[in-house]
């Protein structure tokens, strides 16, 4: 073992030498708060990692997992299933935009994205359109860490060490520029950025493109809401050229924007939708892909005994995950979480945009209960200012996330107006102390 390390753990997205010197360890969680191993209570302004939408330690979810573990610990989803999987699939479809009629379960957002990309290619193959293999992603998009999702993602640093990735991938520009800074919610201008898809299709030949994948709201890449009319134009261009449209709603789903899915907020229905994170309130790893009836039906050809999609995972529709997912949907309904987000989102947005007067703030982007506060970089040490602000917030009892020059916020959706004020007051005080 390396002499600088005292544990066998290699953690994801973590500077391990720094972590081994100063470990942040969480012992328990309840509601809006974590408790550290040294007894400190910290307000979780990141919902874990964009996923604990209904708050930590929800009793009905905990009990559902416990009961499922004692009744059915595991069953394969290959040529068999279990009642909770069917029930959960039906209830998810009932929450989804009309036309998304089927669910393929995975174990994470990364797997959900890779599954959606494979379904998109296989769909065209099933229809005899074998030339359609190319994918189009978007700048600053994050689609997980599988090779497929990483290939269509638009964050260069995350790709640097793992190439070459999948070929036949192009990227749309981010629909944002400096003129749109401090826009409340969706920017009123910028729909024209969708025209870049026409240019890419002309370059690559639309008859060779399988799908376009975007996050309705760019999440990890910096919380960029779509300009008014932008997603509608993408949908129209995809329809015109026979290209599937995939929404990655791993972050924007399950109430984050005030509806079950971002597609419903923006009035645009994709052909495929990747899900995870809030799907089980983060309590059990799970992902999924919502699939349109038209896409599913294209596979239902040939002999009945033939496997239509040669794809899947050992833990697809795991009994504990399905139990957690069913309980999560019930908790969302009981707490009326979507309505609560709609009520407090204006308070959140106003508190966020008030930071524009702080001298270090370059931009604020907020929609639903998402926010990015972009800071002016230190010329000699990019990224260090945001990291220092995040540490000062944590020392003051609020957990935020630093990513590059951004402070990212995504709290549990049960947040109160008083807790919103606490988060942004703490952030303001931290900014005031940082040079």
Q: Could you read off the pLDDT of 101-159 as tens digits, one per residue?
A: 999 999 999 999 999 999 999 999 999 999 999 999 999 999 999 999 999 999 999 99
- CATH 3.40.640.10 residue window(s) in the chain: 62-334
pLDDT digits (tens, 9 = 90+) for 164-223: 999 999 999 999 999 999 999 999 999 999 999 999 999 999 999 999 999 999 999 999
pLDDT digits (tens, 9 = 90+) for 234-270: 999 999 999 999 999 999 999 999 999 999 999 999 9
Confidence of residue 6 (pLDDT cuts 50, 70, 90): confident
- CATH 3.90.1150.10 residue window(s) in the chain: 16-57+336-433
The model's pTM: 0.97
- The vertex-335 CA angle with 109 and 414, nearest 5°, equals 65
CATH architecture for the domain at 16-57+336-433: Alpha-Beta Complex (3.90)
How far CA 298 is from CA of 129, 268, 301, 311, 381, in Å, comes to 12, 22, 7, 16, 52
Task: Reply yes or no on whether the pLDDT at 99 is more than 60.
Answer: yes
Percent of the chain with pLDDT over 90: 97
φ/ψ bin of 281: left (φ > 0), alpha (ψ from -120 to 50), beta (otherwise): left
CATH of domain 62-334: 3.40.640.10
| Helices and strands, counts by H and E, the chain | 15, 15
Residue 104, exposed/middle/buried by CB under 10 A (0-12, 13-18, 19+)? Answer: buried
Residues recorded for the chain:
435
């Amino acid at each position: 073992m390396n002499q600088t390390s005292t544990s066998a753990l290699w953690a994801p997205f973590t500077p391990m030498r720094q972590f081994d010197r100063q470990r942040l360890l969480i012992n328990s969680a309840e509601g809006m708060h974590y408790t550290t191993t040294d007894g400190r209570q910290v307000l979780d302004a990141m919902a874990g990692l964009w996923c604990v939408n209904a708050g930590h330690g929800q009793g009905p979810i905990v009990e559902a997992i416990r009961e499922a573990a004692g009744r059915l610990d595991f069953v394969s989803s290959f040529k068999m299933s279990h009642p909770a999987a069917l029930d959960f699939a039906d209830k998810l479809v009932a929450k989804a935009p009309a036309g998304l009629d089927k669910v393929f379960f995975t174990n994470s957002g990364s797997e959900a994205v890779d599954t959606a990309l494979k379904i998109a290619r296989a769909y065209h193959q099933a229809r005899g359109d074998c030339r359609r293999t190319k994918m189009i992603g978007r700048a600053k998009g994050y689609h997980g860490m599988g090779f497929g999702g990483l290939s269509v993602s638009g964050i260069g640093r995350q790709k640097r060490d793992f190439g070459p990735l999948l070929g036949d991938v192009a990227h749309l520009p981010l629909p944002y520029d400096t003129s749109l800074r401090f826009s409340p919610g969706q920017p009123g201008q910028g729909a024209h950025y969708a025209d870049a898809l026409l240019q890419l299709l002309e370059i690559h030949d639309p008859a060779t493109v399988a799908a376009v994948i975007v996050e309705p709201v760019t999440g990890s890449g910096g919380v960029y809401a779509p300009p008014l009319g932008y997603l509608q134009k993408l949908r129209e261009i995809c329809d015109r050229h026979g290209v599937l449209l995939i929404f990655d709603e791993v972050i924007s789903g399950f109430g984050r924007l005030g509806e079950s899915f971002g597609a419903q907020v923006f009035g645009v229905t994709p052909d495929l939708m990747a899900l995870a994170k809030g799907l089980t309130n983060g309590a059990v790893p799970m992902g999924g892909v919502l699939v349109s009836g038209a896409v599913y039906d294209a596979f239902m050809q040939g002999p009945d005994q033939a496997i239509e999609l040669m794809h899947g995972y050992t833990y697809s529709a795991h009994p504990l995950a399905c139990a957690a997912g069913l309980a999560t949907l019930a908790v969302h309904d009981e707490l009326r979480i979507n309505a609560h987000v709609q009520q407090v989102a204006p308070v959140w947005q106003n508190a966020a945009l008030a930071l524009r007067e702080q001298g270090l703030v370059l931009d604020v982007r907020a929609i639903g209960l998402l926010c990015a506060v972009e800071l002016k970089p230190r010329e000699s040490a990019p990224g260090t200012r945001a990291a220092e602000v995040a540490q000062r917030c944590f020392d003051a009892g609020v957990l935020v996330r630093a990513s590059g020059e951004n402070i990212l916020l995504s709290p549990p959706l049960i947040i109160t107006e008083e807790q919103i004020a606490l988060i942004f007051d703490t952030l303001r005080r931290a900014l005031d102390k940082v040079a």
